[in-house]
Structure 1
């Protein structure tokens, strides 16, 4: 089945009572952007919207990536989880005809909202709290043992799929798209999980109750290391998508700077050596976390650790498609997908909008008067920042993970502009990089060995595609952009009439003209055109004739 795009879902959910078929959800209130437009979060095969109704909060999950048997898989997963009735999982309903889009009904998942914060957010705040990290290690070990006992696997154990309570003593799983349950044995995986927490040799044929073992071991060693050395968080550039270790470390542990740092920490030599050995070995020989902790079933270490040694020629291995923030067409091709956006900040604009003068910030990566990429930080997210981004950020290189929102076409006087970008939900999405690291990641994002599209390749093999939006490379010219859809345009026009200070944008992505009156700098001029092949041939022939004439 082909599923609607992000734009289609956002349009339909501007009238939820008409689009949503579930009586409880259709009576609810969707979480929106600063302008009252649906706010979508990305997770696996589905876009997630937040719905408050009757004093409860639900996650409305709408599928936007196609697969021949996704619905059958979810039904099998739902049946098994209802049988278990475990607090590790959230109650949910798979509704085959849950939402109406352009006259067609599509499935949705209605899931109770998880309490607490994601593991990613928890670690942002507590990576220096040894007591909290110790409790968290115990909670994750208990979860690992439970999954092993039930012979099921989540398939994508990583910080954004784990919810943690305030003190780290209990955890809960979300996002069940890639789960293994007995009824699915032999069917193959639909995804390979987030690359920084997966065994390098994991393939689609590896689909059984052992899927989560390497992920749990990776997290366990990382948390143990942070408890001993909190400074490792910054030294390793840890973030929501990577805790201490990255896929690049697993591909070449011997020369990995991080592995060699962890080896030198008290009590970490053996765990770090064993983790490196597992990463270098076969996927199906990874032990349970319980066995790993007591060094049961592990072979002798054969890896030579030498941080001064010559590293393997391996490109940057991002868990997501890497996009250059200076390349509008490349980012546009990823609308509706989660990406790693890398770029140099040109301008930070601080403004207020609406009748209540709520603060917001735009972070621009280019000249806003043309086609540009930017970040939007709305008031709710802005409150989470310990210090607000300001002009001191200009010139910094950053890495940003998030969902690419649809482009917005705007008009500021005689200037027509188009903007596209990401809405920031928490500070951890933005990480500062050195220019050297940023350029390394950008090169890796375009290299053949990059693994960001691993899950998409699996989907294609199943008869599906990775996304409803076609991919393009940085060499492709940008496609002609249509004007804003009629429903969005009408909503934005009403907002402009009612709240003069509002910032019009569909799905929370585009600025109002007045927000950009401070230009980040002069516009770039076009570079001289290169000579074509024909011109070079003619020039060479001309010189040959001249030489012959002179010699004659």
Structure 2
């Protein structure tokens, strides 16, 4: 075990204490303090080396598989630490690029406080693409959380801290860490160590970001320094989670509703998550009209309803019930709420509180609300139904 003090003493006067790097210049903040961040297993220093700003990862305890994880970025026995006035030891470090920016957690907290829905929606799209790449890979980050994702000054998302990563070469081993409890499935153990350990945190972060993009005030009530919105250990009864489900249901956000439902799964492997994330990032085409447009037909898969043509699925099976398309819209039920969607799957009209709805005919549709039959107008031709 090594201490932060030992590293500070070595790096702040590194002459003769490095094997290949030469003298290291540790960057300082406006108050003259060394720039670094410390976690459970390592401290990361912001250094200037060869005219470039770099990061130097220094370990507080022994870590395994660093060579497999970091490759040439690992500098073995690079830095000499004094363990006493007369003795010391050479330790491994990891040299990497310094990413200018803020953590995803910091960026989300700031945007939510400012009610900046546009910025939150951008973060949502970026994260869902990152999450899809992670859950479809044969490796895993292992400690996926907003604090381990940097929102770069160029607007990109950059994961950091790969010490707990899973690689195919590690199959059959136990996990070196269990990840951060605020983002991990409560049933995760050291025996859970495969390419699917990012499933749960990816779904949880995606759900929270979508919820905040729709309603930033959730942060005022449920945001914290330890997590985003939810507590995995009591997810089914978590008030933020229940409010999120209700929000997604009310607004017809079918993909997000189904991803959120996965957070109550009894296992770490969230079956169907990759397909849902792929649907979340899919660009919806413009709705065609006229004779060229082929009207999609209902189909059911695993108890849920979607729409397809002879060539492809155009609306994924996400809904609990549905009607055929008429006049370019189909009535679908998500949870207990009815909506009308277009042929690209966009929600065009939501009908909260309606016990029953009928397809559009002649620009009008019948709905039952509060026990009364009412008539509503086509949303693409008149103001939306409230």
Q: Which category of TM-score, normalised to the shorter sequence, fits these structures? A: 0.5 to 0.7
Q: Which has the higher contact order (CA 8 A, sep 6+)?
A: 1
Q: Is the 8 A contact 1:262 1:269 kept in 2?
A: no
Provide structure 1 residue ranges, at least 5 long, that are not aligned to the other structure.
Answer: 80-91, 301-552
Partner of 1:96: 76
Indicate if the aligned counterparts of 2:99 and 2:152 stay in contact, CA closer than 8 A.
no
Residue 6 in structure 1 maps to residue 4 in structure 2:
yes
Q: Which residue of 1 aligns with 2:348?
A: none
For 1:49, the equivalent position in structure 2 comes to: 45
Alignment of 1:98-177 (within 5 A): 98-102=78-82, 103-127=88-112, 128-166=115-153, 168=155, 170-177=156-163
Q: Which residue of 2 aligns with 1:15?
A: 13
- Counterpart in 2 of 1:227? 213
Matches within 5 A, 1:355-374: none
Aligned with 2:57: secondary structure? strand
Alignment of 1:103-502 (within 5 A): 103-127=88-112, 128-166=115-153, 168=155, 170-239=156-225, 241-246=226-231, 250-265=232-247, 266-267=250-251, 271=256, 275-291=260-276
Instruction: Give the structure-1-normalised TM-score.
Output: 0.46
In structure 2, the CA distance between the partners of 1:55 and 1:186, relative to structure 1 (3 Å rule), is same
Question: In 2, Cα distance between the equivalents of 1:125 and 1:279?
Answer: 29
State the partner residue of 2:285: none
From the superposition, tell whether residues 44 and 181 of structure 1 become closer, same or farther in structure 2 (CA, over 3 Å).
farther
Deviation at 1:141, TM superposition (A): 2.1
TM-score when scaled to structure 2? Answer: 0.64
Distance 1:257 1:150 in 2: 33
Cα contact 2:187–2:267 (8 A) shared by 1: yes
Give the structure 1 partner of residue 292 of structure 2: none
**Helix, strand or coil at the partner of 1:17:** coil
Query: Which whole-Å CA distance do the structure 2 matches of 1:37 and 1:125 have between them?
Result: 25
- How big is each residue's C-alpha offset from its partner over 1:513-532, in whole Å with a ceiling of 9 and x where there is no partner? xxxxxxxxxxxxxxxxxxxx
- C-alpha distance in structure 1 between counterparts of 2:236 and 2:209, whole Å: 21
Cα distance in 1 for partners of 2:129, 2:253 equals 24
Matches within 5 A, 1:16-31: 16-23=14-21, 26-31=22-27
Count of aligned positions: 277
Q: C-alpha deviations, 1:49-96, integer Å up to 9, x for none?
A: 1101233111111111234xx1xx1111124xxxxxxxxxxxx61011
Task: Tell me the secondary structure at the aligned position of residue 48 of structure 2.
Answer: strand
Q: Which has the higher strand share?
A: 2
Offset, 1:292: 5.8
Cα offsets for 1:23-67 (capped at 9, x unmatched): 2xx434202467756444113521111101233111111111234
- TM-aligned CA deviation for residue 277 of structure 1: 4.9
Measured on the aligned residues, the alpha-carbon RMSD in Å equals 3.0
How far the C-alpha of 1:272 sits from its partner, in A, is: 5.1
> Which residue of the other structure, out of 60, 66, 75, is the alignment partner of 2:67?
75
Deviations 1:342-390, CA, capped at 9 Å, x for gaps: xxxxxxxxxxxxxxxxxxxxxxxxxxxxxxxxxxxxxxxxxxxxxxxxx
Instruction: State the alpha-carbon separation in 1 of the partners of residues 135 and 265 from structure 2.
Output: 23
1:4–1:64 CA contact under 8 A, matched in 2 = yes
Deviations 1:322-357 (A, max 9, x none): xxxxxxxxxxxxxxxxxxxxxxxxxxxxxxxxxxxx
* Structure 2, gaps ≥5 residues long: 83-87, 281-300, 305-317, 319-386
User: Shift in Å at residue 261 of structure 1?
Assistant: 2.0
- Does the CA contact (< 8 Å) of 1:278 and 1:286 recur in 2? no
SS in 1 for 2:92: strand
